[in-house]
Structure 1
């Protein structure tokens, strides 16, 4: 980072030219503790606020998995990696039975081909057209809730009889109160970092709840 790139939006005490190493370390430790406490509080209130919706979504997902349904996840940027992690958790869990789940961001050839040939806004919708069927599940992960390619994919998914789930931050954006979204988990924060941390926990709790609804005794949650 050059000297012209300020870091005060993250660590204001660093750009304050702190000359005392011990004081600087103390400030760094206090900042880390504050962020950890903020993250913990947000995750707790997010789980509480979404408890009923999470239970309902898990019930529907378990029902669809039992009937042969599959899960497709997708997102952009950091949400791309989060959606891939969620799909992997369902498909290759550390314990318990696997569920059929795929990330629509995993194949670079498909993403770049669709982005080049039909436009980035349709990179997920076109994959659902080719792969999804009624009874499947579509999960879109976002911080803003406003990504056009996610909205296009969820619209396509709903038309094809998929159960649609959205993860969003802030006030939910366009995913909130959207007729094409069956369940929308909203993390009410203005921090992208905190939003994604809470979404990761929501995804994990959703996975646990689906196992519970499916009667998986291996996890001790039946």
Structure 2
């Protein structure tokens, strides 16, 4: 506020006073800044568009199969538990919200395991962060539920532990990862994760953008499967 007031004293106002290089007549930098921003935006849009095309080619049929499996679980009374770390935690919350409170379609029972801060911090402090999702699944999940975990690297030990716990309890397991899949794509996990979708990119930003597309496709395809299958899950 004080900086803005001083900027106004010399005849400039608002953001022009704070960021004069963004405006014409400031030494010729404005055009370069805008041109650079436009070029960078176009490059990123082209990257994510191409990555989404690759993901469609790699996973289209498998996404349909996963959605059918998820629809079968939901139709039989199953619930979905989502989880992830950092930015993937935010995505996990969005997945749960998309299924639980959709803009259209059938609301489906979904819970994100990162939303209860008291539980997350208690488990992390008293036992260890590696079990923060597995212990919640042990307490809440039952056979017929769904466990959906997201990771950009695929290397999160707490996701690996959660999927092992989910498998032991008869849950359908769905994982989204980036790079080459990390730990989630290694041979020991082959019998643990039912559906693994790896985003083939080394950019965390592009991975998360493509994962957003994947889980929205899963939501929409699951809604279609619930509407169209009679009886569901057969």
The verdict on a shared fold, with TM-score over 0.5 as the criterion, is yes
CA distance in 2, matches of 1:20, 1:61: 53
Name the SS for the 2:227 alignment partner.
coil
**Counterpart check, 1:208 vs 2:220:** yes
2:143 is matched with: 134
Q: How does 1:26-65 map to 2 (within 5 A)?
A: 26-65=35-74
CA deviations on 1:80-128 (whole Å, 9 max, x unpaired) are: 0001100110001011110100000010000001111111000000000
2:194 to 182, 188, 194: 182
Mark the runs of 5 or more structure 2 residues left unpaired by the alignment. 1-26, 229-234
2:101 is matched with: 92
**Mean Cα deviation higher: 129-138 or 35-44:** 35-44
Give the Å deviation of 1:20.
3.1
Aligned alpha-carbon RMSD (Å): 1.5
Give the Å deviation of 1:40.
1.2
CA deviations on 1:3-53 (whole Å, 9 max, x unpaired) are: xxxxxxxxxxxxxxx963212211111111111111111112212211111
**Counterpart check, 1:171 vs 2:180:** yes
CA distance in 2, matches of 1:19, 1:155: 59
Give runs of ≥4 in structure 1 deviating > 4 Å: none
**Counterpart check, 1:195 vs 2:207:** yes
Report the TM-score, using the length of structure 1 for normalisation: 0.87
Give the Å deviation of 1:57.
0.6
Give the Å deviation of 1:76.
0.0
Q: Larger helix proportion, structure 1 or 2?
A: 2
Give the Å deviation of 1:56.
0.8
Aligned positions, number: 200
**Mean Cα deviation higher: 29-38 or 19-28:** 19-28
Report the TM-score, using the length of structure 2 for normalisation: 0.83
Name the SS for the 1:50 alignment partner.
helix
Name the SS for the 1:52 alignment partner.
helix
CA distance in 2, matches of 1:101, 1:48: 28
**Mean Cα deviation higher: 94-103 or 45-54:** 45-54
